[in-house]
Amino acid sequence: MSFVNFTNAGEYNEFRQHELRKRRLVMIDGSLMANDSTHMVGQSARVYQNGYWGFASSSEPAGADKLGNLALSNARAMQVFGGNSRALPTEGYQGEHRIACRPNWSSEQIIDWLKAVNDLALSRYDNLASVKLVAMDEFHDKSVQNSVGARVFNNISRALTYMMLTVKDKDDKPVELMQIISGKGSFGDLDLSMTSVEQQLDELYQHLMAKREAVHAKGGLQTVVLAPDLAGILAHEAMGHPCEADIVLGGAVTGDLRGQRIASELVTMVDFANSYNGEELLMPVYADDEGTPSRDVTLIKNGMLTDFMHSRETSTRFDDQPTGNARAYAPDDEPLIRMRNTAILPGTSQLDDMIADVEDGYYLMKTGNGQADTTTEFMFGVNLGYEIKNGKLGRAIKDTTLSGSAIKMLQSVDAVSSDMSWENSGYCGKKQPMVVSMGGPALRAKAQLGGE
Amino acid sequence: MQTQAKNILQALLDAGFEDGRVSISVTDVNELNIAHNHVSLMRTTQSQALSLMAIKDQRRVTASVSSLDDAAVQRTIADMQRDVKASPQDAAYAVAPDQQGEFTKGPQAADREAIAACAKSLLDARGKQYPNFVIEECTVKHALQKTFIVTSRNTALMSSLGSYSMMIMGSSKDEHGSSSFTYTGGDLDALPEQPLDVLDIGAMMANSVQETRTEMIPAKFIGDVILTPMAVMDLIGWLTDQLGDVALLSQASVYQKSVGEMIAAPTLTLRNNPQGAGQSPINGEGFIVQPVTVIDAGRLQCQLPSYYGSRKLKLPHTPAGGAWRMDAGDVSRADMQASVERGALVGRLSMGSPAPNGDFSGVIKNSFLLENGQRTKALSETMITGNVAQMLLDIAAISQEVSDFGGYQLPWLKISGLRFS
């Protein structure tokens, strides 16, 4: 990929060349259900004119001028609605950023690994009904240039595996749990050694045996200790989405709360652009797909709602500095405001002490998907959890849902552990999917739990 | 493109594959976006995709690329030759046999003026009737997808599928506060002059503006729910997953051996809906979608494995597509609501995937408390807990009214025995 000469059509314009490579392999009980590879290449242009955006893309090499003119004609076509232009920020980043990957695995290596894990699980655990394994990787190469001087090459990549074990309960109904190994780069960057896999599957199977005898959680407001793996999704769903400026403009309650206390003073939450504590994060964004230099955005500082995440356009509307959060998923997608590496920062408590101090509550360990809301009422599924009785872990609980007002929940946080766990599996869903990372420590709070 | 597809299939066979499937699709999209009650963006996208599946020595490999140029095709076939060797042998791998047909469906050209007029009409109607509703995001679009599929087993299909679609997401804001976000959308053969009259858009806005002031339920209880059609989609999504490849192959489906059994209330009949707007008459495997009744008067008629899944599990193969319609019932929505002593009218279920056994707990959003047959206050922070398989059996009533979302045509359902907390 290289930068090209292009016509400066419209008040502002940008041109993106985008290559996306993905693989997905699925093995169920030794049968290879999917062995797919996808390679998408595309060019797109976006033009801002008189308050409207025009966008055009092609999977053929159409060229910057042709697409730029088509995008401009699209923007002009909307002038019938009346124009109201705002000047966009003029910062443009120049630089190239590539993730230093180790050599990737071939499909043959991945299939051999899937077979080995399948055989290991079947030979090691007596009561398995099924072993489901998924391996996926994806690589995004983007060259972005625009009319305010940005020339950016960004590369983002990740690899991940899902290992799902299923057993039957006493009523012959399926019970399942999943372990995920994911990270930045390629399969070559993950620890997929059989020693590590064996250890993780042993733990998973122990939990699965406990979940086989699980009881329903008590429904209603409960004291919960969220394991570090769950704090990230809380950060992302509960307060991340409501702090995206386009969601704020859509009427989110956060629009009226900037500068106000919305969480315990123990809570600080940041959407990091690319690095934390001097180390590059799992989804490093140095400049976004509008060519804006990326900045960390402190969403909550010691419990106070502070800043929002922006595109060029929303930063103008809010009179804020642009933050570099505009990202596009596929070659034919336009940039939207998306999170990058969103986390609640660690505190000083110890997880064991946080559990020991709970008389009656729940320790929640694994999650499925989640959802945010304009009201900050969030939810996420809980696939693994245990009762806490008098400071000790008790019986496993059946799948449940954690929910509530994020503001009420974050205000109730009374302990934050010193741990920090990051992960980048799964997709964030908005108009487009997006790869993101999330992180956090263990938290203790009160929230609504689904159950009896 | 049909010639190109055949040439690429021949190239696969020349490369030593015993069977192959080639699909070429070209998609043109014209889309107008509304953001925050204002028209914001017009998109024009042109994309093509070449999807290949090939089998050699009972080993299978698939690949997709966005380029149709000769060099890219040759590279892809060479990669497939390399990768197929690693695939485990499986006698169930096969390509679609003996499917022939050419289909043209839906509007074949975009009317950009109609798209703009629809957006204007939508914005005007919102402003006049529901000024507190904020359209956070809306798309009005036309898509035309031309697809050619050929296989080495005498399949040659062509489809030219055009459709309009609308998707709206938003929430309401007034002096009391903000409502939960809500959404609706679907496919249409033609754009409407009055957008609030289609896809339940008007009903969605009317409910949303009443949801800015919410209350929690004062105490747990067991009661009824009336699921609106958008919430019924969640039930159907879980059901079709249970009848599909992943659940069946992993022996994790609660309907693994249930064909012929009553799995739902006798009032429920569920059919596929390939004739719906925007629904393709062919599927990605290279089969013509057939009419299928999945549940007939509560009794499961068939499962929904892919061609591979059906051969692997020795099950009948029923290419059904992904659109569903539920037969209307005999109760009006008003009577249905009047019959609820205590429960909720549920606009949207916000929850993770139900457990494989159907257990779930989810937050009910855009929902209203029902007390003594009356809709009272909008709810917040309220969860329902139950089992999806049991919910299908516990359907107490199905409405006469059916909402049309193009692919999905669904009524309201009254279901008893959910736990509220």
- Where chain A has pLDDT below 50, the residues are none
Q: Which of B256, B235, B232, B234 is nearest to B244 (CA)?
A: B256
The DSSP code for B322 is S
Distance from CA of A279 to the nearest CA of B (A): 33
- Residue B353 is predicted with a pLDDT of 77
Question: A405 touching B, CB under 8 A?
Answer: yes
- Residue A1 is predicted with a pLDDT of 57
Residues A200 and A193: beta-carbon distance below 8 Å: no
Mutate to test the interface with A, among B75, B314, B361, B418 (most CBs of A within 10 A): B361
Task: Tell which B residues from 123 to 142 touch A, by Cβ distance under 8 Å.
Answer: 134, 136-137, 139
Which residues on chain B are in Cβ contact (under 8 Å) with A426? none
Task: Tell which B residues from 43 to 82 touch A, by Cβ distance under 8 Å.
Answer: 43-49, 60-67, 76, 79, 82
Distance from CA of A278 to the nearest CA of B (A): 35
Which residues on chain A are in Cβ contact (under 8 Å) with B60? 32, 35
Asked if A368 lies within 8 A of B356 by C-beta distance, the reply is no
Which domains does chain A show, CATH number per domain?
12-213 (3.30.2290.10), 220-449 (no CATH)
Mutate to test the interface with B, among A25, A58, A107, A384 (most CBs of B within 10 A): A107
Q: What is the ipTM of this complex?
A: 0.89
Choice between B189 and B178, residue whose per-residue pLDDT is larger? B189
Question: B359 touching A, CB under 8 A?
Answer: yes
Task: Tell which B residues from 148 to 177 touch A, by Cβ distance under 8 Å.
Answer: 170-173, 177
Distance from CA of B408 to the nearest CA of A (A): 20
Residues A277 and A296: beta-carbon distance below 8 Å: no
Which of A186-195, B81-90, B265-274 comes out lowest in average pLDDT?
B81-90
Residues forming a β-bridge with B397: B414
Residue B356's pLDDT band, with cuts at 50, 70 and 90, is confident
- Residue A2 is predicted with a pLDDT of 63
Mutate to test the interface with B, among A379, A384, A405 (most CBs of B within 10 A): A379
Rg (CA), chain B: 24
Task: Tell which A residues from 257 to 276 touch B, by Cβ distance under 8 Å.
Answer: none
Distance from CA of A69 to the nearest CA of B (A): 12
Choice between A128 and B353, residue whose per-residue pLDDT is larger? A128
Question: A149 touching B, CB under 8 A?
Answer: no
3-state SS assignment for residue B170:
strand
Which residues on chain B are in Cβ contact (under 8 Å) with A35? 60-62, 83, 87
C-alpha span between A18 and A7 (Å, rounded) = 19
- Residue B209 is predicted with a pLDDT of 96
Distance from CA of B56 to the nearest CA of A (A): 14
Q: Is A301 exposed, middle or buried (0-12, 13-18, 19+ CB in 10 A)?
A: middle
Cα angle B383, B389, B392; round to 5: 90
Q: What is the pTM of this model?
A: 0.92
Residues B350 and A374: beta-carbon distance below 8 Å: no
Residue of A nearest to B42 (CA): A54
Domain boundaries, chain B: 1-211, 221-420
**Chain segment A254-278, per-residue pLDDT in tens:** 999 999 999 999 999 999 999 999 9
In this complex, how many residue pairs, one in chain A and one in chain B, have their CB atoms less than 8 Å apart? 275
Q: How many residues are listed for chain A in this entry?
A: 452
Task: Tell which A residues from 5 to 44 touch B, by Cβ distance under 8 Å.
Answer: 28-42, 44
Residue B258's pLDDT band, with cuts at 50, 70 and 90, is very high
Question: B109 touching A, CB under 8 A?
Answer: no
Which residues on chain B are in Cβ contact (under 8 Å) with A431? 137, 139
**Which three-class secondary structure string do you get for A75-113?**
HHHHHHHCCCCCCCCCCCCEEEECCCCCCCCCHHHHHHH
Residue reference for tokens 């953001």: B35
Topology adopted by domain B1-211: PmbA/TldD fold (3.30.2290)
Asked if B136 lies within 8 A of A247 by C-beta distance, the reply is yes
- Residue A3 is predicted with a pLDDT of 67
Q: Which amino acid is at A89?
A: P
Residue of A nearest to B171 (CA): A251
Which residues on chain B are in Cβ contact (under 8 Å) with A129? 250-252
**Chain segment A289-312, per-residue pLDDT in tens:** 999 999 999 999 999 999 999 999
C-alpha span between A223 and A445 (Å, rounded) = 6
